[in-house]
Structure 1
């Protein structure tokens, strides 16, 4: 092989890798586009805050359904068919939102968007790592993480700025996203398959299981993960309401930035996680989450945007540190032949955390008001993280005598 041919192959490999990473980022971006637009839907259709949280929760239902249904499929039928299916679901969600004129359509759009995220969360992460050129292998895992969380963070920012400063506020972001999906489809189509398909694929449901020997690590990791993902759900589903009704800011671009910054901070937190001693990574994440939600609650109580935004940044950092550390701890404690199942169970807990607490916020706000509910939510998340922290410290104290 000539040097010029080798150079061309390397360039092609890099382009394919970046194309699939772009498809990952774009799909996740599409899942959070509605965030800064929820107050507009609420005003236009007369929805209550509870209904807005239910619409958001439909997304989590779609994610969980896709994780359980398709969690193992990419190993059987290949990465590309699953990724193309996820892109199709993302495009269908855009089409529904472009034509949404009822609660049923909004619920359907969110659920199908969740399906696209559920497919991509596992399959695209593995595909990005597998497609990484040799020179970039050391950064492949972080690229997958950055595409995931970065896309989730960019969604509210893009929709917020387009919704505030461009025409067609409820539709333009989805139209732009739909157009960009064409590029993503081409990128995935051109990528080579990284899986050797078996002659007779077995399309089984993903089991949820916590082996006995994993439970000591799983409980605190899952509690910390639940707290962190509950905060992500809070900012994605209800931050617009708190920004508007409690903090007095209704600029959609600003709402989008505040909702997105927690995901950007999470990406940074996941990058920082390796800087801490291994035994203290998850406890550090818990402690930072406690500090962050304390500031979020204080920002709501004081009606202070600066305090609220500071809390979003800090809690995002803590969530990122804790999520990567918790997932690593659970994976390390799992038998090799059950790691996929335990990991899926961990993600199941995480996505339940995204949906159930925000519906609780919608229900509780009707009884005691939005501000009081927000401060109560911050206290509960802080307590859950504190319990996880205590369990981790006790586990470490007992470890030497084990």
Structure 2
């Protein structure tokens, strides 16, 4: 059965957001094993911001410059690396690196995925709306699905390396392979750097 691009892109975003909260039910157990306090644990959780914010600010227009497909594939690869790290080394120190890669994946993929899908759906007049709806649904399922499936797995059998980690590694690898079959659309051009814009009158 041929998989459409309009299915692959939301699936890719689902996989990327799935990785973000996949290990959340084990944050406290990992921290407890390492003797981390609440403040230290919070810093570990926030590590993904170090990967995400620079991508938003300094690489916000990179998919306009080099194309949507390579950026989406790289984002998937970062999500795959994060899943692989925490699967092989299920501890709080590995979680720091996993969260960093999750931040990169998230920062690069959010705008890219929606824009990519809208371009594929065009010239349909409601392409932006359909793209936004599809990506919103897939990311919502990913963010909530990661923590949900790991919680269920831990309720059935508690372990520091739940089967959901290996499941995520497997399906993310499939997602990467599928992404290589996405169409190569010409870049629209523009600056890679995309600083925040504040309309006149935003500040007193």
Common fold by TM > 0.5 = yes
- Counterpart of 1:34 in structure 2 is 23
Supply the distance in 2 between the matched residues of 1:184 and 1:193 (Cα, whole angstroms): 17
| Counterparts in 2 of 1:48 and 1:176: CA distance versus 1, 3 Å | same
- Counterpart of 1:139 in structure 2 is 130
TM-score by length of 1: 0.46
Aligned-pair RMSD on alpha carbons?
2.6
Residues 63 and 187 of structure 2 are in contact (CA less than 8 Å); yes or no, is this contact kept in structure 1?
no
Q: Secondary structure at the match of 1:205?
A: coil
Shift of 1:162: 1.8
- Counterpart of 1:207 in structure 2 is 195
- Counterpart of 1:161 in structure 2 is 152
Shift of 1:132: 3.2
Shift of 1:155: 1.2
Supply the distance in 1 between the matched residues of 2:56 and 2:18 (Cα, whole angstroms): 18
- Counterpart of 2:43 in structure 1 is 54
Q: Secondary structure at the match of 2:46?
A: helix
Supply the distance in 1 between the matched residues of 2:188 and 2:194 (Cα, whole angstroms): 18
Q: Which has the larger radius of gyration?
A: 1
Q: Please list the CA deviations of residues 4-37 of structure 1 after superposition, one character each: whole Å capped at 9, or x if unmatched.
A: xxxxxxx96x722111111111111111112111
Residues 37 and 170 of structure 1 are in contact (CA less than 8 Å); yes or no, is this contact kept in structure 2?
no
Kindly indicate whether structure 1 or structure 2 has the higher relative contact order, using CA contacts under 8 Å at least 6 residues apart: 2
Instruction: Confirm or deny that 1:63 pairs with 2:47.
Output: no
Alignment counterpart, residue 108 of structure 2, candidates 102, 119, 131: 119
- Counterpart of 2:143 in structure 1 is 152
Shift of 1:104: 3.6
Supply the distance in 2 between the matched residues of 1:56 and 1:68 (Cα, whole angstroms): 21
Shift of 1:56: 0.8
Q: Secondary structure at the match of 1:190?
A: coil
Shift of 1:95: 1.8
- Counterpart of 1:88 in structure 2 is 77
Instruction: Confirm or deny that 1:108 pairs with 2:105.
Output: no
Unpaired runs of 5+ in structure 2?
Answer: none
Residues 76 and 172 of structure 2 are in contact (CA less than 8 Å); yes or no, is this contact kept in structure 1?
yes
Supply the distance in 1 between the matched residues of 2:91 and 2:173 (Cα, whole angstroms): 27
Shift of 1:71: 0.8
In the TM superposition, 1:274-313 aligns within 5 A as none
Supply the distance in 1 between the matched residues of 2:140 and 2:11 (Cα, whole angstroms): 12
- Counterpart of 1:241 in structure 2 is none
Q: Secondary structure at the match of 2:4?
A: helix
Residues 17 and 139 of structure 2 are in contact (CA less than 8 Å); yes or no, is this contact kept in structure 1?
yes
Corresponding pairs, count? 202
Instruction: Confirm or deny that 1:172 pairs with 2:163.
Output: yes
Q: Secondary structure at the match of 2:186?
A: coil
Shift of 1:113: 0.9
Higher normalized helix content (fraction of residues) = 1
Shift of 1:167: 6.5
Q: Please, which moves more after superposition, 138-147 or 72-81?
A: 138-147
Shift of 1:72: 0.4
